[in-house]
Amino acid sequence: MDLWIPITLAAAFLQNLRSATQKHLKSVMGTTGATFVRFGFGLPFALVFLAALAVFGADGVPAPNGAFLLWVAAGAFGQIAATFLLVHLFSYRNFAVGTAYSRTEPAQAALFALAFFGERVSAGSLAAIAISVFGVMLISVAHMRMSWRNLVTSVFARTAMIGLASGALFGVTAVAYRAASLALGGPNFMMQAAVTLVWALALQTAAMAAWML
């Protein structure tokens, strides 16, 4: 089994767990506070992870360059906006619809990768993207009479539009983080990911702390 498969499955599970926790935090801390927790409390763990790689790994920590800083900043601020919109969705009674549309992130990320980097998408991937988007549309009308009219109009509901915007920003974030990680040029994907994560969380924590103060 390729390594990316268990990593993706674990990430999907933890992402759902995170969303459930953020819904609870929003009722206690508000949208901004719950958004800050996503980044501020993650930074110490990211630093420990990077330190462990640096101490026990044979490779050093790569130095950031201009391209890396540009992409990591784009991803960091895009993720703040995307997370804010996702948490804001919990203010609505039918937030599940918007949350479902935010899951179009992979499809939108593929489009952004094509637009920014000219990356080709295989026919199989296009089919999978189309199926996933159609599945999201079906979820959005789960409590309505099934019809093409309801499927189309559901896309333009307020919560759906917020969800799509959140998914778009998450898509941009994914593409930007990938570009930032690749810009480091080595020494391995674990170290590149860890450095990107630490820089992103540090920028996000500083920016949100300054905004809240």
pLDDT of residue 19: 75
Helices 66-88 and 95-102 cross at an angle (nearest 10°) of: 160
Alpha carbon distance 176, 188 (integer Å)? 18
Q: Determine whether 170 is exposed, middle or buried from the number of CB atoms within 10 Å of its CB (0-12, 13-18, 19+).
A: buried
Q: Which residues contact 19 (CB under 8 A, 6 or more apart)?
A: 86, 99
Averages of pLDDT over runs of 10 residues in the chain (213 residues) are: 82 79 80 88 94 86 94 97 90 75 82 80 79 76 70 78 92 95 90 96 96 87
pLDDT of residue 58: 67
Cα–chain-centroid distance for residue 160? 17
Alpha carbon distance 69, 155 (integer Å)? 35
Alpha carbon distance 4, 11 (integer Å)? 10
The predicted model scores a pTM of 0.84
- Contact assessment for residue 205 and residue 39, using Cβ atoms and an 8 Å cutoff: yes
pLDDT of residue 179: 95
Q: Which amino acid is at 137?
A: M
Alpha carbon distance 112, 132 (integer Å)? 17
Alpha carbon distance 159, 19 (integer Å)? 16
Phi, psi of 79 (to 5 degrees): -70, -35
Cα–chain-centroid distance for residue 83? 8
Alpha carbon distance 158, 65 (integer Å)? 40
- Contact assessment for residue 149 and residue 86, using Cβ atoms and an 8 Å cutoff: no
Cis-peptide into 187, omega within 30 deg: yes
